[in-house]
Every structure is written in C-alpha cells, then in structure tokens.
C-alpha cells in the first residue's frame, strides 16, 4: 500500500536527507584533510591497558569543550601500546563533532617548521595551523636533540599555548625530555606550557605489536608441527 505524505512531511524528510548528506560530506572532507590513521575507539583494547582510565578517554572523544578552552592532551607510554591508535581515534570522534583536526608525525612537522623558518615564513605557517582546533603531534620522542629542530617545536608550543589545543604522544616521560630539547631551560618552559591546561594519559602495557608477533609465530609453529 502506497503511503501518502503531506507536503510538510515530504519537506521535513527532504531537509533531513539534505542535512545528513551535508554532514557526511563535511566529515569526509575533514577526515581527508586531517590525514588520520584509520583507527577508532571501538576497536581499541582497553582491557590490555589497565592503567588507562577509559571514561576519561571517552569523555575527551565526546566533548569538544577542551578544544574551545585551548587545553592539551598528552599521551605517554612505551612503543607499541596504542598511543597513536588512541590519538587518531579521539581525533576522529572530535571531527565528527565538528572540530578541525590535523594529524602529523613530530619529525614531519619539525621539517615543515624548519623549512618555513629558513624561508622567513615560520610565523605565517603557525598562523595557518591556527585553523585547526586540534593539532595531533605523534611520536615527539623521535625529534633529534638539536637547536634547529627543537627551537621551532618550542615556538609552535608557545604559539598555541592557551589558544589552540595540542595532542602529543611520546614514549619518553617528562623526566627524559632533556633528550628532546637542546637545553634544560627550553625543556622546562615547553613542559610548563604543555601541562598548564592538560589531561595526561599514561599507558602501561605490553606492546600490542609484540604480542601479535608472538601469537602469529606460535600459530605458524603449531601449523608446521601438525
């Protein structure tokens, strides 16, 4: 039996469809621009990270308030425990809520900043990066301890301080950040700015990649023995 719609029902349905289409297109464009790894919270194994407070993570992913306040999120843990996965998943959720996000490795970002500085365009680049509510800087621990690299990174941190949010992952705790910045004064100043308005996540777990490799090796060994 065909259903007869009133003009009001038809227009309402049409508007809802148009709104949904626009939302999906906006999210697709934002995700493409963000260049996020394809990760989500739905497939992050919180059970393997007993020190990680799941409600805090969910709250950060579902509320853009901390971005509007220019607060930071700092994620620490050894290699392979899911820091990048978690950062990308939180960023993806925030994009779906309307935030503008950019994901980059620390080494790639530093190279970009250095190039801009050499061309006397560093301030212009920092201002262009302001268009992003959240800048995800992955693996800051791989930045080399040289004045040319760490000085531009410090300028980025100082520029966004209390204005725009940073999400930084690191396999080095703050106590080892002298291995990143070229002098202790810069280290203290950078850490002070980052933690002033920040949530800190610490992930203590065995490397997921190591566990997967062991399981894969065990599986192959079992198959050969049978």
Q: How confident is the model at residue 178 (pLDDT cuts 50, 70, 90)?
A: confident
Give per-residue pLDDT as tens, 40-71: 999 999 988 888 999 999 999 999 999 999 99
Q: What is the pLDDT of residues 89-141, one digit of tens each?
A: 999 999 999 999 999 999 999 999 999 999 999 999 999 999 999 999 999 98
Q: What values do phi and psi take at 137, rounded to 5? A: -115, 105
Say how far apart CA 20 and CA 209 lie, in whole Å.
38
Name the burial class of residue 124, with classes exposed (0-12), middle (13-18) and buried (19+) by CB atoms within 10 angstroms of its CB. exposed
d(CA 128, CA 114): 15
What is the rounded CA–CA span in Å between residue 132 and residue 55? 25
Burial 3-20 (b: 16+ CB within 10 A, else e): eeeeeeeeeeeeeeeeee
How many residues in the chain? 226
Q: Are 190 and 181 in contact (CB under 8 A)?
A: yes
Q: Is the pLDDT of residue 17 over 50?
A: yes
pTM metric for this prediction: 0.84
Q: Which residue has the higher pLDDT, 197 or 10?
A: 197
């Amino acid at each position: 039996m065909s259903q007869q719609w009133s003009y009001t029902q038809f227009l309402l349905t049409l508007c809802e469809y148009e709104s949904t289409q626009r939302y999906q297109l906006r999210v697709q464009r934002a995700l493409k621009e963000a260049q996020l790894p394809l990760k989500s919270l739905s497939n992050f194994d919180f059970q393997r990270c007993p020190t990680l407070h799941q409600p805090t993570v969910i709250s950060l992913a579902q509320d853009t308030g901390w971005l509007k306040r220019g607060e930071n999120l700092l994620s620490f843990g050894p290699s392979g425990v899911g820091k990048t996965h978690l950062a990308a998943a939180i960023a993806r959720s925030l994009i779906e809520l309307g935030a503008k996000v950019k994901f980059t490795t620390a080494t790639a970002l530093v190279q970009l900043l250095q190039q801009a500085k050499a061309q006397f365009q560093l301030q212009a680049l920092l201002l262009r990066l302001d268009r992003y509510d959240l800048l995800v800087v992955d693996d800051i621990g791989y930045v080399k301890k040289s004045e040319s690299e760490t000085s531009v990174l410090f300028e980025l941190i100082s520029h966004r301080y209390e204005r725009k949010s940073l999400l930084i992952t690191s396999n080095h705790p703050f106590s080892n950040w002298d291995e990143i910045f070229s002098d202790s004064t810069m280290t203290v100043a950078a850490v002070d700015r980052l933690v002033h308005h920040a949530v800190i996540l610490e992930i203590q777990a065995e490397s997921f990649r190591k566990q997967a490799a062991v399981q894969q090796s065990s599986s192959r060994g079992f198959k050969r023995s049978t």
